[in-house]
Chain A
Amino acid sequence: MSLLFNEQEIATDKQGYLINFKDWHTDLAQIIADKDQLVLTEQHFEVIRFVREFYLTYNTSPAIRALTKAMKAEFGEEKSSSRYLYRLFKEGPAKQATKYAGLPKPARCI
């Protein structure tokens, strides 16, 4: 499986996650999201960038609880509640945001 981006083939797994997180680019996020028929807004991007930063710092994709707790410190209560995040990413914020951020799916499923 692969995506076409800037005339380059980017390898993905069956579910659309990038094989190599280093292939990611901000503009690639929307192309990945196209497959889910989702138009990314700045609110989505706040989460996507945060998740990517988390991965680069801690070498793991955050599960939902860790994500909300870590985001709370940076964005405050309102923008880190799981309700808010689920409204943005209906299939599950940790699962979906990591995909658009070019990261592996969180191993610990939720």
Chain B
Amino acid sequence: MSQAKKSVAIVNASAPFSTANAKDSLDVALIFGSYEQAISLYFQGDGVYQLIPKQQPEFIQQKDFLKTLAALTFYDIENIYVCQHSLTERGLANDFSIENVAVLNRVEFSKSLHQHQSILRF
């Protein structure tokens, strides 16, 4: 419990390209990682669209920051959770651009999120 108490969670709730939220969120996560601060990532609502494979932002002149998600493990970011309900709502399969993602049902998602003291939502 004491370990969970100090940890920080980031909730990604925005689709990747139309706002800077997703990119900002990733930058924050990598900074926490660089300073060895434990951090968990959650994807809920339109945030689940960040994990869809084979996106090609170069068609809309954007840098493909989604490729960076695959490097999270080098920043010791290994707790990554996705809301099953949000996937189902959007008709999305459990098929992600990165590995080691845990899909949680509504109850598990809520419970997991409640373990964190600080929650940053983007």
- B34→A58 contact, CB < 8 A: no
Rounded to whole Å, the gap between the CB of A69 and the closest CB of chain B is 5
- B34, B65, B67: the one within 8 Å of A65 (CB): B34
Q: Knowing A107-B27, A108-B31 touch, does A62 contact B74 (C-beta < 8 A)? A: yes
**A31→B27 CA distance, assembly (Å):** 32
Closest to B75 in A: A66
| Contact code string B49-69 (vs A, CB < 8 Å = 1, else 0) | 000000000000001110110
List residues 43-84 of chain A with CB under 8 A from any CB of chain B. 54, 57-60, 62-67, 69-70
Within 8 Å of chain A (Cβ to Cβ): is B70?
Answer: yes
- Interface of A, secondary structure class, is helix
B74 CB contacts on chain A under 8 angstroms:
62, 65-67, 69-70
Rounded to whole Å, the gap between the CB of B77 and the closest CB of chain A is 10
Q: How many residues of B contact A (CB 8 A)?
A: 16
Rounded to whole Å, the gap between the CB of A101 and the closest CB of chain B is 16
Closest to B30 in A: A108
**A70→B25 CA distance, assembly (Å):** 22
B36 CB contacts on chain A under 8 angstroms:
65
Contact residues of B with A, CB < 8 Å?
A: 27, 30-31, 33-34, 36, 63-65, 67-68, 70-71, 74-76
Contact residues of A with B, CB < 8 Å?
A: 54, 57-60, 62-67, 69-70, 107-108, 110
